[in-house]
Amino acid sequence: MTEDLVSKKQLKYLNASTRKLIWWKYRKHTLAMIGLVSIAGMYFTAVFCEFLAPYSKDTRHLEAIFAPITKIHFFDEKGSLSWPFVRQSSLELDMENHRATVVEVPGTHFPIKFFVKGDSYLFWGMWEWNRHLFGVEQPGTLFLFGADRMGRDVFSRCLYGTRISLSIGMIGVLLSLLLGVTLGGISGYFGGWPDGIIQRIIEVIRCFPSIPLWMGLSAAMPPHWPAMKVYFAITLILSLVGWTDLARMVRGKLMSLREEEFVLAAKFVGASDLRIIFKHLLPSFTSHIIVSVTLAIPGMILAETALSFLGIGLRPPITSLGVLLKEAQNVTTVALYPWLLIPVFFVILIVLSFNFVGDGLRDAVDPYSR
């Protein structure tokens, strides 16, 4: 009589799969849920950034060099409420401070429209289109985050930068996952001298202060390399230094698991080492690997940002958040045009979200505890 012994709620819990239990536990973690939603949003942005951004990343508006954040007006000249609109901006020489400033032209009226026609782009490098989610018609301009020294829209560039930064994190982590699981796997499963050598290598890599090492490696790239090659080289460099944490985790887990009975049983029925590792051992701690990977991504993104910020990472035309921040290196520029600092908050948001998700996952992967 199960109904007497356990309630319906308990029965649901007892019948649930591990995956379901992890999800239930994860759902309770508010910050982790916020992080998950924000990461999902950012990846969505990264995938569709050509459409979501009002301008393409390299469109230069000569009339809007260092244009401040465009004011969106809700009231027209007569003071009555209207659909949000912007005024046309134009460059004016400020003779007092000897610099050009961007001012609004009174009387102009450019309503913000959805699915507006703008710069044409190749969506995912395949389909040509010229509609953008929102924007204003020419010659009006809409700069949500202002414009930079070449009159490019910082908001659009942030979206494109997010795409590159996130992709660096993904590819870099995949590479270091490959290295970490392979080397950590050999180290943990076989032990003995391979373990000794791999452990020494890990120790040496961890001794190096990572940023100077990254700097040294990426500065060694020949300056004539094309931007795309630099992109892959940087990803490779980041993962060459970043795989050690994963390898240690995999090694530790394998060492404790290889003594379990199910491994012995698999050996008795004649399974090969590779089969035991990939079919029996790795799946038993996939969740832990996912946690480590989630927590490793922000480190990769930050490292790339730091390198590009210093000018030895990615180079234009590839635009990452770090490349954007390079514009903000000079204090006097930033003091005059503070909106150039906005990409900083994108970086912080990405890192914070990944950390929240990682923390939540770490708590949730052992659904049977407590």
Partner 1 sequence: MFAYIIRRILIMIPTLIAISMISFIIIQLPPGDFLTTYVSQLSASGETVDQAELESLKKRFGLDEPIYMQYLQWVWNFIHGDFGHSFEWNKPVSELIGERLQLTIIISVCTLLFTWAVAVPIGVYSAVRQYSWLDYVLTVFGFIGLATPNFLLALILLWVSYAYLGLSIGGLFSPDYADAPWSFAKVLDLFKHLWIPVVIVGLGHTAKFIRIIRGNLLDELRKPYVVTARAKGLSETRLILKYPVRVAINPLVSTIGWTLPELISGIAITAVVLNLPTTGPLLLSALMSQDMQLAGTFIMLLSCLTVVGTLLSDILLAWVDPRIRFGAREGL
Q: Which residues bind partner 1 (CB under 8 A)?
A: 31, 200-201, 203-204, 206-213, 215-217, 219-220, 222, 298, 302, 305-306, 309-312, 325, 328-329, 331-332, 334-335, 338, 341, 344, 347-348, 351-352, 355-356
Q: How far is the CB of 116 from partner 1 (least distance, A)?
A: 33
* CB-nearer residue toward partner 1: 219 or 228: 219
Alpha-carbon torsion angle 125, 131, 137, 140, nearest 10: -40
Q: How far is the CB of 216 from partner 1 (least distance, A)?
A: 4
Q: How far is the CB of 351 from partner 1 (least distance, A)?
A: 4
* CB-nearer residue toward partner 1: 135 or 184: 184
* CB-nearer residue toward partner 1: 70 or 308: 308
* CB-nearer residue toward partner 1: 277 or 347: 347
* CB-nearer residue toward partner 1: 106 or 222: 222
Those residues with Cβ within 8 angstroms of residue 311's Cβ, 6 or more apart along the chain or in another chain: 326
* CB-nearer residue toward partner 1: 54 or 358: 358
* CB-nearer residue toward partner 1: 311 or 317: 311
Q: How far is the CB of 206 from partner 1 (least distance, A)?
A: 6
110-111 and 81-86 strand pairing: antiparallel
CB 184 within 8 A of CB 246: yes
Q: How far is the CB of 97 from partner 1 (least distance, A)?
A: 15
Q: What is the rounded distance in angstroms from the CA atom of residue 329 to the CA atom of residue 147?
A: 16
Q: How far is the CB of 23 from partner 1 (least distance, A)?
A: 23
* CB-nearer residue toward partner 1: 305 or 319: 305
Q: How far is the CB of 141 from partner 1 (least distance, A)?
A: 25
Q: What is the rounded distance in angstroms from the CA atom of residue 324 to the CA atom of residue 335?
A: 16
Q: What is the rounded distance in angstroms from the CA atom of residue 39 to the CA atom of residue 353?
A: 6
Q: How far is the CB of 352 from partner 1 (least distance, A)?
A: 4
